[in-house]
Structure 1
Amino acid sequence: MRLFVIAGEASGDKLGAALMAGIKQLAPAVTFEGIGGPLMEAEGLSSRFPMEDLSVMGLMEVLPKYRHLKRRIAETAEAICANPPDAVITIDSPDFCLRVLRAARAVRPDLRTIHYVAPSVWAWRPGRAAKMAEVVDHVLALLPFEPPYMEAAGMTCDFVGHPVVAEPRASALEAEAFRETHMIGPDQPLVLCLPGSRAGEVKRLGPRFDEALMRLRDREPGLRVVLPTVRGVAPMVREMTARWPVAPIVVEETADKRAAFAAADLALAASGTVSLELAASRTPMVIAYDMAWLSRLIIGRLLKVDTVTLVNLVSETRAIPEFLGARCEPGPIAAALFDLIENPESRAAQHAAMALTMERLGEGGEDPGLRAARSVLAHLGRA
């Protein structure tokens, strides 16, 4: 069996790697082609071009790279059609992935297609499900309430859980060793700074996060900051933070990142999958995010929900404070972080919401990557 797998960003790379590992366990003779990052490459994928070429988000962010992305879409669709696989599995990144599927299906109408990560039609643009159904046969959903939306649009869909519930976590000893290695005292507050995995996010959010943390440090002089990052933006992060008044500890290796999550007392993070990683490590958090002004204006008018943080949505609480769009300002963000340090009730509410989120996403059950693999093989008649 030969599968063509496409991921366009760090979170998709993580999902793709877990899925590939699950498929290899159930169908060892499988081979993979496509586009992915270091985690998928470790599972046997030889990426046709760097995944980072696709890691852009938002209208104003995409426009400067539009011609380049069009070339990548055509190149990918041509590769699929030249030697059609048993199925194409696209992972998130719908602006790129669905255009590839549309171009490939125009040439190969019988192409089998699976998309991993249901579009958040419950949040905005519900018509996306119907458009996706034109080129997608089967969907792997991360959230338990998503399958009915996909099925109503004409696709089959399985809830497979989220790989975050099965990812390794650092032990208490590893967390303690991280603090000792970086000379962080047991009573010093340690904050994770997570401004995103895309270059545009880091550029936009980094200075605001720095200012918020400087304000927090004025109230907590012993505060230390650690900034985990990913390969694609690590050089930018190191260059940017070298100019910060108090440079954070920048970590890139997976084991160091896990230890940092376990060692931290709280986190300031961009909106996205990282909120689930923080929930898995039970790290209290504040979420902040902004886009280019036009993207902010358009998406703000289309939103159907009052929160975009996955922990809030899955737990059906509003325990995690959010500062989105025009509210993404250092002063309020710093105040929310200080409240988490000083207020045990705020931390307790977050811990309860995080525990419920992990339970609903499948914590303690079968590995979600394996569940996703079973869904793929069943859909292809290979179970």
Structure 2
Amino acid sequence: MRVFLIAGEPSGDKLGAALMAGFRSLMPDTEVEFIGVGGPRMEEAGLSSLFPMDDISIMGLTEILSQYPALKRRVNEAAEAAIAAQPDVLITIDLPEFCLRVAKIVKARSTIRTVHYVAPTVWAWRPGRAAKMAKHIDQVLALLPFEPPYMEAAGMRCDFVGHPVVTDPLASATEAEAFRDRHGLGAAPLLLVLPGSRRSEVTRMGPVFGAVLAEVCARRPEMRIVVPAAGPVVDMVQAAVAGWPGAPLVLDGKAPDAQAEKRAAFRAGDLALAASGTVSLELAAAGTPMVIAYDMNWLSRQIIGRMLRIDTVTLVNLVSETRAVPEFVGAACVPSDIAAAVLALAEAPQSQQEAMALTMARLGQGQEPPGIRAARAVLDGLGRL
């Protein structure tokens, strides 16, 4: 069996590697060949990448436009390689700006079955994307339980396969206590601050979070601040927190023990202030209550604000069908309001526990791992189970 895979960013590389392991687990007596584009995890699992994954790992409209000629060449290169390989299935993983263009070319010139892993957020904005996808995607693998009806309505098969956050390792209470001891935090209340993993996010949210902490620390001077910084933005985060109150402890995301330190911090934290994103699910998995905030440039705020079809962008709220997590997005991203929410949460951190537990259960916690579920869904679509 031959599988052509394309992943263009670290989260997709993680999904792809788990999917590859899932295929091998379900087909122990069948030789499965993996070709395509991926990162270090997929290469470690046996993929020989056509070109570096970083070549297509580009986010943001401005960045995409500035590098459009190079991206277009990579789209054509990947599509031609897939057509020449004649795989049993082409699986594109997230990064729709790149992956769906490849699938469109492949579908126009072959009968190769196409699967897209990670449903686009048509439930949040631009619902017309589903109908456009359906012209060249046969099957979608969804991370969120409420997504299949949107894809199926457009004419695609869609399988909910679970979210990878449910298989991520969690720190123990002992590890959390050791983290506090290691950094001299004692039993003080601990606030995690997560300003984002992209440079643009840190630039925009750093000053906002600093203003929030000025109010929080004035009211709660005993509060200790820990900032888990993603590897690519450690230097930016360290510069941003230099003017923050509370003597923040920055965890270096490039350190050898970075992931273990982050897990321990999440377990040790009493509450968190975080930029919007999948970090809300990581915090929920660790049982750490949160306040979410996010802002963007004026133009993006105007455009996206008019296109949004939901009243919350926080995944814990969406999956649990509650509004338990306070959220301050766009024009509502006001430091004084955010600080009030953080202080209120510090007084009643148990208010989110039920919503976080429900979110994890609905995402597949305690069930078959998502990588195996995804592989099973693909094989079923191929009639190969």
Task: Please say whether Structure 1 and Structure 2 have the same fold, judged by a TM-score greater than 0.5.
Answer: yes
Q: Distance in 2 between matches of 1:2 and 1:239?
A: 48
Assess if the C-alpha contact under 8 Å between 2:214 and 2:244 holds in 1.
no
Letter in 1 for 2:210: D
Shift of 1:318: 0.4
Matched, 1:368 2:373: no
- Give the secondary structure class of the aligned counterpart of 1:120: coil
Matched, 1:25 2:25: yes
- Structure 2 gaps of 5+ residues are none
- 1:25-56 CA-to-partner distances (Å, cap 9, x unmatched) read 22353233333344434433444444444444
- Closer, same or farther in 2 for the Cα pair 1:297/1:375, shift >3 Å? same
Shift of 1:231: 4.0
Shift of 1:139: 0.7
What residue in structure 2 maps to residue 141 of structure 1? 142
Q: Distance in 1 between matches of 2:70 and 2:274?
A: 29
- Give the secondary structure class of the aligned counterpart of 1:291: coil
Matches within 5 A, 1:311-326: 311-326=316-331
Q: Which moved more, 1:206-215 or 1:329-338?
A: 206-215
Assess if the C-alpha contact under 8 Å between 1:61 and 1:292 holds in 2.
no
Identity of aligned residues (%): 64
- Give the secondary structure class of the aligned counterpart of 1:88: strand
Q: Which moved more, 1:108-117 or 1:62-71?
A: 62-71
Shift of 1:352: 0.8
- Closer, same or farther in 2 for the Cα pair 1:333/1:70, shift >3 Å? farther
- Closer, same or farther in 2 for the Cα pair 1:366/1:195, shift >3 Å? same
Q: CA RMSD in A?
A: 2.4
Q: Distance in 2 between matches of 1:173 and 1:297?
A: 47
Matched, 1:302 2:301: no
Matched, 1:171 2:176: no
Shift of 1:312: 0.6
Matches within 5 A, 1:1-383: 1-28=1-28, 29-106=31-108, 108-186=109-187, 188-238=188-238, 240-241=240-241, 246-252=247-253, 253-342=258-347, 344=348, 347-383=349-385
Q: Distance in 1 between matches of 2:161 and 2:97?
A: 23
Assess if the C-alpha contact under 8 Å between 1:121 and 1:149 holds in 2.
yes
Shift of 1:241: 4.6
- Closer, same or farther in 2 for the Cα pair 1:358/1:338, shift >3 Å? same
- 1:143-171 CA-to-partner distances (Å, cap 9, x unmatched) read 22221221121111111111212221111
Shift of 1:64: 3.4
- 1:260-281 CA-to-partner distances (Å, cap 9, x unmatched) read 2111111122222221111111
- Give the secondary structure class of the aligned counterpart of 1:280: helix
Q: Distance in 2 between matches of 1:332 and 1:68?
A: 43
Assess if the C-alpha contact under 8 Å between 1:194 and 1:229 holds in 2.
yes
What TM-score results when the alignment is normalised by the length of structure 1? 0.89
- Closer, same or farther in 2 for the Cα pair 1:201/1:67, shift >3 Å? farther
Q: Distance in 2 between matches of 1:290 and 1:263?
A: 27
- Give the secondary structure class of the aligned counterpart of 2:310: coil
Assess if the C-alpha contact under 8 Å between 1:251 and 1:257 holds in 2.
no
- Closer, same or farther in 2 for the Cα pair 1:238/1:254, shift >3 Å? same
Letter in 2 for 1:357: T
Assess if the C-alpha contact under 8 Å between 2:229 and 2:250 holds in 1.
no
Q: Distance in 1 between matches of 2:156 and 2:359?
A: 26
What TM-score results when the alignment is normalised by the length of structure 2? 0.89
- Give the secondary structure class of the aligned counterpart of 1:283: coil
- Give the secondary structure class of the aligned counterpart of 2:300: helix
Q: Which moved more, 1:111-120 or 1:299-308?
A: 111-120
Q: Distance in 2 between matches of 1:281 and 1:214?
A: 26
Shift of 1:78: 3.3
- Give the secondary structure class of the aligned counterpart of 2:158: strand
Shift of 1:315: 1.0
